[in-house]
Amino acid sequence: MSHTFHPLTQEQAELIAFEWRYEGDYAFYNMDADEEDLALFLDADERGETTFAILDDDELIGFVTLQFESTDTISIGLGMRPDLTGNRNGNRFLTSILDWIEVTYKPCTIQLAVATFNKRAIRLYESLGFIPQETFMQETNGGVYPFLSMKRLQKSPPNI
């Protein structure tokens, strides 16, 4: 079994947006929690060629969105299917994303932001080499919430 990455289809976007339901505090990540984010996610032109479905043996298990900050830095946003979260699947899931990005785009740095309440995700990111940078306030889901930016060096930059 290995993960494969393909541009997210409209059908997959709608499945994620309307059927993936997280429980408890993690309901924060339900797509319909923020109407603006939902509209952007469902708009194929907005998604463009930067949001990818993650498949495991042809089964949709997650997605990743890439934002190219510079020639050597990529920001990512990601989501794992709710029934797979909290079951020790995160390491394999995130490792496959990082490996795919490394092989496909060869960035020096990958960065992401995570809601500060999500200690489970923060522990995972740190275990895979992400270093906390700064906490900032982000407007989302009808409010303003603290997020933590994290950065991971993929490889050493070339010597100049």
Residue 59 has pLDDT above 80, yes or no: yes
pLDDT at 155: 65
Is the pLDDT confidence value at 151 over 50? yes
Residue 7: other Cβ atoms inside 10 A: 13
Asked if 54 and 61 touch (Cβ cutoff 8 Å), the reply is: yes
Helices in 2-153 by DSSP H: which ranges?
10-19, 35-42, 44-47, 90-105, 119-127
Bridge partner residues of 68 (DSSP): 74
> What mean pLDDT comes out for the span 53-77?
96
What φ, ψ does residue 126 adopt, rounded to 5°?
Answer: -65, -40
Mean pLDDT for 65-90 is 95
Both tokens of 25, joined, read 């505090």
Q: What is the band of 150 on the pLDDT scale with cuts at 50, 70, 90?
A: very high
pLDDT score of 11 more than 60: yes
User: For 59, phi and psi rounded to 5 degrees?
Assistant: -105, 130
Are 79 and 29 in contact by the 8 Å Cβ rule? The answer is yes
Beta bridge partners of 78: 64
Q: Across all residues in the chain, what is the average pLDDT?
A: 94
CATH number of 3-153: 3.40.630.30
Q: Is 61 helix (H, G, I), strand (E, B) or coil?
A: strand
- pLDDT band at residue 142 under the 50/70/90 scheme: confident
**pTM beyond 0.85:** yes
Determine which helix (DSSP H) or strand (DSSP E) holds 20, and give its type and residue range.
Answer: none
Collapsing DSSP states into helix, strand and coil, what is residue 142? coil
Identify the pLDDT of residue 2: 74
Tell me what the mean pLDDT of segment 142-151 comes to.
Answer: 96
Say if residue 1's pLDDT is above 50.
Answer: no
Q: Which whole number is the average pLDDT over 102-119?
A: 96
Confidence of residue 27 (pLDDT cuts 50, 70, 90): very high
Q: Kindly report, residue by residue over 90-105, the tens digit of the pLDDT.
A: 999 999 999 999 999 9
Query: Which pLDDT does position 159 carry in this prediction?
Result: 52
**Residue extents of the structural domains in the chain:** 3-153
Q: What is the mean pLDDT of residues 66-81?
A: 96
